[in-house]
Amino acid sequence: MNVLKFGGTSVGTVESLKNVRSIVEALPSDTVVVVSALGGLTDRLIATARLAAEGGDWRTEADAIAERHYIIIEELVRPDRKQSTLTVVGSLLDELRRTYEGVSLIGDLPAKTLDVIVSLGERMSAPIVAGIIKNGHLHNSLDFIKTEKWFDKNIADASLTRDLIIKEFVDIEKGPHVTGGFISQDRDTGEITNLGRGGSDYTAALIAAALDADMLDIWTDVDGFMTADPRIIKDAIVLPAMSFIESMELCTFGAKVIYPPTIYPVFHKNIPIRILNTFNPTAPGTLISDASCAKEYPVKGVTAIRNTCLVRLSGNLTENVAGINTRAYNALARNGVSVFLLAQPGENHEFSFAIASADRQVATRALNEEFAPELIDGALDSISFEDGLSTIAVVGEGIRHLKGVNGRILNTLMRFGIKPLACSEGNSDTTFSFVVEEKDTVGAIKAIHGLFF
Ligand code: ASP
Ligand code: MG
């Protein structure tokens, strides 16, 4: 059986939903379909919530949101399901209005309230899609996607979620099954949570892994994984295939194709992922599996993470390199901060690594605590932070077999007048990454893409 996930643009309009319908209705009944909110709706729900908190006119926005859903129900939901779908969506729209009203009255938008508001996107799209597809059987993801608190984030409780999914879909033949992505419920408090922006992919992966699916199909609005962001590189190409590791690295380093946590659960079960285009359903797409096709494409892509912050530890540290890096890395991990590049140590015992600028405050506290002894006894002069940077990654399993590849990358940058501020240690077999000033992001991507493609 296959799990299919349709993103926001795929379920955003009457026209695109017709494609979704014909894709799903051509498949066997044991299919599970995971849907996002209507395209752009999550952003709009958030913007309207902020508007309400500021005392703005949220009603006009809420009316437009309602109208968009009603048009789709009117045009596409099957006649025998129309009334029940209208009732369900109508009461969710009432809940949305009441919540905005409350936000507007108190003039404040607590995080938990925002979580309820954004959940309504998928809570409305799922019954609509279930009503459009022949024999569509609706499931409520809040019943089986459970999260736990981890610092200030909600993360999936993987084993509880797996058990609940298996129970929920025992009658797998009686589908196709439809459920909302992204939304979840706190296993302890019962509050509505979510898996993070873009999290519908992850919901689909959790379901695919729990049900031992044959394939996870991510239906989107592009023909597949490309060698670079096509808005930057006009002649970026669609890759026919890549490995799980390569897709993981590309997504961690900024490719917006799949929400990064998605890959692990299916990788673990060796369930291939296909990236397919709802608007061009016969295109072959990209197959992500344990095979890399490294011969044809040693390098798979060039990506960027903007809003990078470079952290530097400088002084006369005597501890070995691995020791310092491990301490810094662990101190940050304990505080929920991930490090996406560990740089080669500089000449004068300088250690640097890249984090997201948004994590700077937490990182400052964590590192000052961890290295307090060295800061006091003078072994460490300072811990400094530099914002306004980008991390660029060159990803591909064939990279390790290319002679002098790091040198070629650095020379190319130099020819284009771009100076990397830090380079990865090169200990990852699939990725070479470096940090540049944010203004050089596009230039660096163009230079490196040109070198390999
Ligand atoms: N609707 C959510 C978002 O826009 C989740 C998703 O589409 O994957 O982030
Ligand atoms: Mg997405």
- CB of 315 closer than 6 angstroms to any ligand 1 atom: no
Give the mean pLDDT per block of 10 residues along the chain (453 residues): 98 98 98 98 98 98 98 98 98 98 98 98 98 98 97 92 98 97 98 97 98 98 95 95 96 93 96 98 97 92 96 81 86 91 76 94 96 90 95 94 90 96 78 96 97 94
Q: Give the sheet arrangement for strand 2-6, strand by strand.
A: 137-139, 177-180, 32-35, 2-6, 215-220, 273-277, 286-289, 241-243
Q: Is the CB of 200 within 6 Å of ligand 1? A: yes
Can you give the pLDDT at residue 94? Answer: 98
Instruction: Decide whether any atom of ligand 1 lies within 6 Å of the 180 Cβ.
Output: no
pLDDT value, residue 184? 98
Cα gap 258→358, rounded to integer Å? 21
Q: Note the ligand closest to the C-alpha atom of 219.
A: 2
Q: Are 144 and 165 in contact (CB under 8 A)?
A: yes
What does residue 198 show for φ and ψ, rounded to 5 degrees? 85, 5
Query: Within 10 A of 43 (CB to CB), how many other CB atoms are there?
Result: 14
Contact 82, 130 (CB under 8 A): no
Which pairs count as long-range contacts for 193-197, CB under 8 Å and 24+ apart, including other chains?
193/115, 193/147, 193/154, 194/115, 194/118, 194/119, 194/154, 195/145, 195/147, 195/154, 195/156, 195/259, 195/261, 196/153, 196/259, 196/261, 197/42, 197/259
DSSP state of 344: P
CA distance 13 to 201: 20
Strand 32-35 with 153-156, pairing: unpaired
Closest atom of ligand 1 relative to the 121 alpha carbon: 1
pTM of the model: 0.93
